[in-house]
Amino acid sequence: MIRPKSFKVSQIAAYLRELLEDDVLLSGFFIEGEISGLRKHSRGHIYFTIKDEGAALNAVIFKTQADELDFEPVDGHKVLIYGRLAHYEKGGLTQLIAEMMNPLGIGAAHQDLQELKQRLNAEGIFANRRPIPATPRLVAVVTSPTGAAVRDIITIMRRRNPLVEIVISPALVQGADAPASICEAIARANNCGADVIICGRGGGSAEDLRAFDNEAVARAVFASRIPVISAVGHETDVTLCDFAADLRAETPTAAAQIVCQSITELADDLNESMLQIREAFADRVAGAQASLDDRFLRFTSGIASKLNSAQAQLTQKAEILEKIAPHAVLERGFAAVLKDGRAVHTAAALKDRDEITIKFKDGDIKATVGAK
């Protein structure tokens, strides 16, 4: 029995690299396929997958060649690439090195997705815009119970406000069974008493996120009785779930921050509200005091004016009375006739032999009517 040879990993990796480099066919060829999972490196390189109905290859176009492209490659575009296969020993990665790339149109899958988006939009499925509760009591999270997204959400919410309850409605977020699983999880979340639902997963390629580009998922999000925040992938990832939701969050972490206001922020808001109430109350009191002072001033001014007027009238009447008073008449040389202490106004009021008093300014005399 021939014993198989033993190799180091680096020997096999080097052999694969040399095998690809020496193969005339694989060192320069044209390949046609659809772009998927495109991502741009900070240095300008573009990484993506080139695929057809049966298979996929990892691919990269480096910055120098990427800068020469006269179009913007995006997921779903069909392209014709000239390149070569290379094997990177340290990473154990075999990939297509694209040296030229030309667009061929929109891939069938991408075209189907755009048509589905237009149809759902026409039906009003993307019309959900209910307000998200500012201070929810219970938040339901539809996602994988073992993924990084759920850990990030729980960590953020526990740190910001541990009083908010979290319930996980587990779902598959990738693969053929994921859409049905997500729909079931949304239905469960609607029956747990939650105030808001976060539906999503962490980042990934377009293939990884395809479950959230599903028609049934979009309809389930739209039909939810509870407001839904879609939190799928990274900031640049946009799915049908995002359009159907009441609010799109850039990431699961951002969704957790939206639904869970920190205790510090709540305290600051409360203090600000109390300050505004106190200032408003002080303004009302000051306004009421100013109004009261104005009314009191007008009242006292009115009273003073009336008193002055009454005083002037009283003085005028007193002067008149002074002029017609009996002693004033006597001072002018007149005399007053009194009978039994009462003034006699007419001669007819006296009878013969009546005793009378004649009052002058300087004294009185007694007289008898008819006496000689």
Lowest mean pLDDT among 127-131, 230-234, 237-241, 366-370: 366-370
More confident residue, 286 or 36: 36
Which residue in this structure is represented by tokens 């999972």? 37
What are the tokens at 143?
């996602």
Given this model, what pLDDT does residue 37 score?
A: 87
Given this model, what pLDDT does residue 364 score?
A: 80
Given this model, what pLDDT does residue 348 score?
A: 79
pLDDT single digits (tens) 127-166: 878 999 888 899 999 999 998 899 999 999 988 888 889 9
Given this model, what pLDDT does residue 252 score?
A: 92
Angle among Cα 13, 17, 19 to the nearest 5 degrees reads 115
Residues of the chain within CATH 3.40.50.10550 domain(s) are: 128-264
Nearest-Å Rg of the Cα atoms of the chain is 52
pLDDT bracket for residue 318 (50, 70, 90): confident
Give me the helices (H) in 124-262, please: 148-160, 178-189, 215-223, 240-244, 252-259
d(CA 69, CA 67): 6
- Mean pLDDT value across the chain: 85
CATH topology for 9-106? OB fold (Dihydrolipoamide Acetyltransferase, E2P) (2.40.50)
pLDDT single digits (tens) 244-287: 999 999 999 999 998 887 556 655 666 677 778 888 887 887 88
Contacts of 40 (CB under 8 A, 6+ apart): 46, 47
The 3-state secondary structure of 235-293 reads: CCCCCHHHHHCCEECCCHHHHHHHHCCCHHHHHHHHHHHHHHHHHHHHHHHHHHHHHHH
Distance of CA 31 to the CA centre of its chain: 50
Contacts of 131 (CB under 8 A, 6+ apart): 227, 246
d(CA 91, CA 57): 15
Given this model, what pLDDT does residue 266 score?
A: 56
- Relative to beta strand 138-143, strand 165-170 is parallel
For 302-313, what is the mean pLDDT? 81
- Identify the bridge partners of residue 232 per DSSP, sorted by sequence position: 201
d(CA 288, CA 279): 14
Put simply, whether the predicted model's pTM sits higher than 0.85 gets the answer no
Residue 68 clears pLDDT 80, i.e. is over it: yes
CB atoms within 10 A of CB 15: 13
For 218-246, what is the mean pLDDT? 91
Given this model, what pLDDT does residue 244 score?
A: 94
CATH topology for 128-264? Rossmann fold (3.40.50)
Residues of the chain within CATH 2.40.50.140 domain(s) are: 9-106
Alpha carbon of 319 to those of 314, 322, 361: distances in Å? Answer: 9, 5, 20
Closest CA to 226 of 245, 253, 242, 239: 245
- Relative to beta strand 228-232, strand 247-248 is parallel
Identify the top-confidence range among 25-29, 44-48, 102-106, 108-112: 44-48
